[in-house]
Amino acid sequence: TIYFIDGQFTEKDGVKISIDDRGYYFGDGVYEVIKVYNGELYTAEEHMTRLFQSASKIKLAIPHTERQLIEIAEELVKKNEIDTGHVYMQVTRGATQRLHHFPETNVSPVVTAYAILNPRPLTNLKDGVATKTVDDIRWLRCDIKSLNLLGNVMAKQEAHEAECAEAIFVRDGIVMEGSSSNMFGVKGGVVYTHPATNLILNGITRRVVMQLCADLGIQVEEKEFTTEEAFEMDEFIMTSTTAEVTPVISIDGKQIGSGAPGPITMKLQEAFAKQLPLAVIG
């Protein structure tokens, strides 16, 4: 695998990261995951815009333009001959002596990235997945796609131990999002999802799905709903760059709707697949 680090493309063995990198000490950085279909980056501009927004929210100045980072991502896809997969890119505040406050001298942010093969989750898309609710113990800036993912890691592990594919964060009884996805409920033909506040990450896939609802004439509302209301939904969906439009067929062992992917979920899956680069089949 060819990696990108600090302005250079190199084999993994050639990657040198300082032990003093603030990403390593503090999780002081931001990242993105961009899906690749048929060798083409999908919604790359949206991801790069969000990367710069996340960086700006933590007062990190990325020493590149959005276009330059997209070109690096494209180069990685080419060099690694990625057909279906994703690009991971992260930017940390750089390496200095371990002090919490920002470095005062000219310390450069460190950009690292790679491209990797990753097939579409076809089994999950067809059969749906089980999920588990967990307490949302994260901080109040979940809108930032930060490298600090301990809350998300703990939640995913709890779901994993319960043989569930995803954890659903619940804060004060309200369904927020998944540990690495956004959540949608469908009731009476209306699609509901948590508003894009500081308490969730506004997923790129979430935005695509909301646009697809609008295009298909399906009513979609950014409105809070409780765990109890979630159990009573006709359909439930989780979305992310890698999960796409995945049906959720159970929450905490309780079956949602018929226990199989519902009609609106399948309609959205179909519309989603249709707008992928070069109309990906299967």
- Which residues bind to ligand PMP, rule: CB under 6 A? 33, 152, 177, 180-182, 201, 203-206, 239-241
By beta-carbon proximity to ligand PMP, the closer residue of 44 and 76 is 44
By beta-carbon proximity to ligand PMP, the closer residue of 96 and 124 is 124
39: number of Cβ within 10 Å: 15
Among 35, 132, 145, 156, which one carries the catalytic annotation? 145
Compute the least distance from the CB of residue 10 to ligand PMP, in Å: 26
Compute the least distance from the CB of residue 49 to ligand PMP, in Å: 11
Compute the least distance from the CB of residue 193 to ligand PMP, in Å: 11
Closest CA to 74 of 2, 14, 12: 2
By beta-carbon proximity to ligand PMP, the closer residue of 132 and 206 is 206
Task: Please list, in sequence order, all residues whose beta carbon lies within 8 angstroms of the beta carbon of residue 64, skipping any fewer than 6 positions away.
Answer: 72, 111
Compute the least distance from the CB of residue 18 to ligand PMP, in Å: 26
Catalytic, 145? Answer: yes
By beta-carbon proximity to ligand PMP, the closer residue of 77 and 238 is 238
By beta-carbon proximity to ligand PMP, the closer residue of 103 and 277 is 277
Compute the least distance from the CB of residue 86 to ligand PMP, in Å: 10
Q: Beta partners for 129? A: 248
Catalytic (active-site) positions: 145
